[in-house]
Chains A and B, each alone.
Chain A
Amino acid sequence: MLNSLGREIPEYIEGIGKLEPFQGALMKLGKGWMDEPTIPAPNRAYLPHQSKLCKTLEEAIIRSNPQNGMTVSFHHHLRNGDFLLVQTLTILHNMGIREITLASSSLNECHDPILPYLIDGTVTRIFSSGIRNQLGRAIALGVLETPVVIHSHGGRVRSIHTGKIRIDLAIISASAADCEGNATGSHGKSAFGSIGYAVIDARYAKEVIVVTDNLVDYPCIPLSISQNFIDHVVVVDSIGDASKIATGTTRITKSPMDLRIAKLAADVIEQSGFFVPGFSFQVGAGGASLAVAKFIREKMRNKSIRGSFMLGGITSYCVDMLNDGLFETIFDVQSFDAVVSNSLLNNRRHIEIPAALYANPFNCGCITNKIDVVVLGALEIDVDFNVNVITGSEGYIRGASGGHSDTASGAKLTVVVCPSFRGRIPIIKKRVHTVVTPGETVHVLVTERGICVNPAFKELEENLRRAGLNLKDIHDLEVEVDKITGIPGPLEYTDKIVGIVEYRDGTIIDVIHQLKEK
């Protein structure tokens, strides 16, 4: 069957179940409730003064009663410095546990060592918002029989609520925790800031292990995750590589190309009609996306505009803007720099939020619903403004859905920034390989070669045109770029589906087919 973007979606996939095709960004939300019932969270009981402390991670896992077919969840706040995912799966592998469903909020390069466990059947299913490097390559080439499910950050919460992801064991990394499992990422030698993605895991998993390299006296403050959800506590030498968990501060790119794109994007935001006192703002953590913040900061100072809140993945640059008084508040679901952890700990206007409050579409108001302006990146974008942030030009899985579609669906102004081509590969396509974020939620594309406004947003186009910005039809830009780069030959796929891309409401926006190996 075809979804509303014309993507062929199967009705049923073995190991996944029945699929519902995407029918529009707000189609399901418009009903005012979620069709699927919410499963109850497990209730556990502990005797007074019973110890939760385990000597090793292995002991805690054994106490959690691991079984074949179990689902194990992780959170990705430690980014590329995480030790625990690989350690946990190695322990389970050595115990002979098989057919594990891996439900990590994202997977990074540091998780490459689990590839043998995908090959030997230790891990047979994956739910994640992002997959990269060797894992992404192997999955695209068909290492797993059951397709991986790519969800958004908000969609993951929904999937846990509905029982699509039923977590048997959650591993929660904490840079500080106490003997009862009260835990935080905001201080300690491995501080990583917000622990927002793990809150839902703690609430819904049958067994929860907090792993820390910094056991503090009871109680651990702040209680980012509280003891009433924690079964076991393990103290280890190190939860991760601090140098890869968080760098000191985020530096703005010096790439002339990224800066050029960022400046144009800031001009778009300034002239859009949404750059007004009290506006709310979200930018990514790298490249052109973060550089937009530099130019917006200058424009806010020049025009004496004070914003309401910044949201999402938070960098030191966001903290600087908060401290400069340019924004009232930061809502932080993931922190990128060591400086951010310190701010989170000490500034009451820097607020740690769980993923549900950040982006779950099915509650009475996630914060992405209130965002005015978001700046997002893209691996590809097509002439219908559909965005791919998951598969690369060579067909491998190499990115993350993350909060892309969540924030785009909520923002009054979604600005996608990317170069018009990378190397010799055009980024603007007639049709993207994989849709993650539907074009109906993308307002503007900004490249170094021009600004393209989604024709569905006439008033915005008029505002920008009146301001004298250089607007181009996206079809013209696509042709212009093709003339420079040539048109790459098509990728070759088999009929096998290796990944399904869930939209945040649980419908299927696209599937990823197995890449033919060259």
Chain B
Amino acid sequence: MLYIPGNNPAMIQQGGVYGADSILLDLEDAVALNQKDAARVLVRNMIKSVNFYDAEVCVRINHLSTPFGLADLEEIVPLQPSAIRYPKTESPEEVAELLKIIERIEDKHRLPHNKMTLHAMIETAMGVQNVFNIASMFSRVDAITIGGQDLTADMNIIYTPDGVGIDFARKRIVMAAKASHIDVIDTIFPDVNDEEGLRRETEYAKKIGFTGKAVINPRQIDIIHDVFTPTDEEIRKAYHIVKEFQTNTAAGIGVFAIDGKMVDAPVVARAEYILKLANVTVA
């Protein structure tokens, strides 16, 4: 997910060419207070006119407690981007209020309530405490994401490259997402020149269960794709497992072995997930 400042027309124009899975047009932290109105209008017009190719388009609005949040919704919801990203989400009540406003705007424009989704950003200690309810109570919340920079600020700790200060939050947020069967996206890696550090952090995020990672520079996209894309060997093994599973199921066999290792439902589910990521179907 590539963050693009909502007040930079050149970057928005080129946003779709870098191969990111989704583009996040940011009206919040990337935009100075005196640029908020201009950015909102720019993002509105760019969504209408720019070809973002295969990338999903999301918009991060300002929090409803600011003077800009409601105006952002009024302008952006009618365009029905793939998702609205809501910053500093702290409670299910907040999400309920947000959805009420979104649905009111959608009703006004005769739009369905099930097309555009909501990404809840968890970037405060309170948000971390309430994350399961935020993730699980609303069908329109289809992803949660951790905002590392704001979270460390809220915790009064210094962000360190090893991420130790937010490690508990990361794992708690992942667990909430998994229990809710929704996506979970890791925070940005701020040093765009540290490719090794980015790879290390992305590999860790993948290992603990994140399904993607946000980036602030297009140069970071390839490393993240490289980490999250299954290797040829992983795909080959997964294909073999699913193929054998289909054959054995047809023969009425539930549990079987490949190379001496037991294959049961969880192993098959994992293999199917890898093939889904790799966009491979078993013939």
Q: Is B100 an interface residue (CB 8 A)?
A: no
Q: Is A259 an interface residue (CB 8 A)?
A: yes
Q: Given that A254-B219, A480-B51 are known contacts, is A260 also in contact with B13, CB under 8 Å in the complex?
A: no
> A256 touching B217 by the CB < 8 A rule?
yes
Q: Is A28 an interface residue (CB 8 A)?
A: no
- Which range contains the number of A residues in contact with the other chain? 10 to 19
B19: which of A257, A260, A480 is its contact (CB, 8 Å)?
A260
Q: Mark A237-263, 1 if CB is under 8 A from B, else 0.
A: 000000000000000001011011001
Complexed CA–CA distance, A449 and B13 (Å): 11
B14: which of A257, A259, A263, A480 is its contact (CB, 8 Å)?
A257
> A259 touching B219 by the CB < 8 A rule?
yes
Q: Is A448 an interface residue (CB 8 A)?
A: yes
Cβ distance A301 to chain B, nearest Cβ, rounded Å: 15
Show the binding face of A for B, using Cβ within 8 Å: 254, 256-257, 259-260, 263, 448-449, 480, 484
**Chain A, interface SS category:** helix
The residue in chain A whose Cβ has the minimal distance to the Cβ of B193 is A254
- CB-CB under 8 A from A260, the residues of chain B are 17-19, 218
Complexed CA–CA distance, A448 and B15 (Å): 11
> B17 touching A448 by the CB < 8 A rule?
yes
Q: Given that A254-B219, A256-B217, A260-B218 are known contacts, is A448 also in contact with B51, CB under 8 Å in the complex?
A: no
Q: Given that A256-B217, A480-B51 are known contacts, is A449 also in contact with B17, CB under 8 Å in the complex?
A: yes
- CB-CB under 8 A from B94, the residues of chain A are none
Beyond A260-B19, A480-B51, 11 extra complex contacts between A and B, CB < 8 Å:
A254-B219, A256-B18, A256-B217, A256-B219, A259-B219, A260-B18, A260-B218, A448-B14, A448-B17, A448-B18, A484-B13
- CB-CB under 8 A from B219, the residues of chain A are 254, 256, 259
B222: which of A263, A448, A449 is its contact (CB, 8 Å)?
A263
Complexed CA–CA distance, A448 and B18 (Å): 7
Q: Mark B194-224, 1 if CB is under 8 A from A, else 0.
A: 0000000000000000000000011100100
16 A-B pairs in the complex with CB atoms less than 8 angstroms apart: A254-B193, A254-B219, A256-B18, A256-B217, A256-B218, A256-B219, A257-B14, A257-B218, A259-B218, A260-B18, A260-B19, A263-B222, A448-B14, A448-B17, A449-B17, A484-B13
- CB-CB under 8 A from A256, the residues of chain B are 18, 217-219
Cβ distance A257 to chain B, nearest Cβ, rounded Å: 7
- CB-CB under 8 A from B217, the residues of chain A are 256
Cβ distance A482 to chain B, nearest Cβ, rounded Å: 13
Complexed CA–CA distance, A259 and B218 (Å): 9
The residue in chain A whose Cβ has the minimal distance to the Cβ of B18 is A260
- CB-CB under 8 A from A259, the residues of chain B are 218-219
Complexed CA–CA distance, A263 and B223 (Å): 12
- CB-CB under 8 A from B18, the residues of chain A are 256, 260, 448
